[in-house]
Structure formats: C-alpha cells, structure tokens
Amino acid sequence: MITTQEILEAALCFAGRTLSQGEKGILAGLCEAAYGRWAGSLREGVAPEDCRGAFLAACAWTALAGMSGALEAAQPTPLSFSAGDLTVNTGRSERASACAGSLLAQAEVLMAPYTADGGFAFLGVEG
C-alpha cells in the first residue's frame, strides 16, 4: 500500500532545497490531497499499487505544484526593486506559475495511461 509518508519522501527529493518543519507539515497535507486526487481518478480496476512509480511521482509533483508559490515566497530575493530610473524585476512569480504548471502537466502525462478519460462525449443524442 502506498502511504502519504512515501509520497512526502518523494516530494522532498524533488523539492530542491531543505524544507522547514512547518513547510514539511504543509507539504504532507498536500501529499495527502494529491493521493486522493489521483486515486479518485484511476480507471476502474486500477489501484495505486498497479502504477506505483508513476503514482508516487505524480502525487509528489502535484503536491509540489501546490507548494511552489510558497517555496518561491520563502526565498529572500525580492520580486522587483527600483533605484532612480532603473527597475529590476526578477519575474519570480511567473516562474513559480510556470513551474507549478509544468509539474502538473508532467503528473497528468505520467498518469494518463492509468486514469479514466475525462474527455467530452455526446451520450444518448437523438438524430
């Protein structure tokens, strides 16, 4: 059985820096939510253990995507500053959004073979 602790350990490997205890607590909650999201989207007859590696990575990436804004905000570098006529903007918030989007997209690609198709379909349409 895949546990939230295993997902948290995978997420910590992908985090790219050491997290504080408070951040780990928040990430643990996000890992639990990611587990619920992906377990609930699996095709009928597919269990998380059937796609263990993909499931662990997708849950970890989904949790980190939720945390990416907080991770960026924890860095001491300012988003922008001005000195006279010179303005410097690091674009950090855009990078955080791009990072989160990339992590979610990768998780969805990884889980695509195991999840139910959520696509649009016409059912019972009379001619």
Task: Name the burial class of residue 28, with classes exposed (0-12), middle (13-18) and buried (19+) by CB atoms within 10 angstroms of its CB.
Answer: middle
- Model confidence over 78-118: pLDDT tens digits? 556 667 667 666 555 555 577 888 899 999 999 999 998 76
pTM reported for the whole predicted model: 0.74
**pLDDT tens for each residue of 1-42:** 999 999 999 999 998 889 889 999 999 999 999 999 999 999
CA distance 50 to 32: 19
Which residues, 6 or more positions from 3, have their beta carbon under 8 angstroms from its beta carbon?
none
Q: Which helix (H) or strand (E) holds 9?
A: helix 4-14
Half-sphere exposure of residue 5, counting CA atoms within 13 Å on the CB side?
1
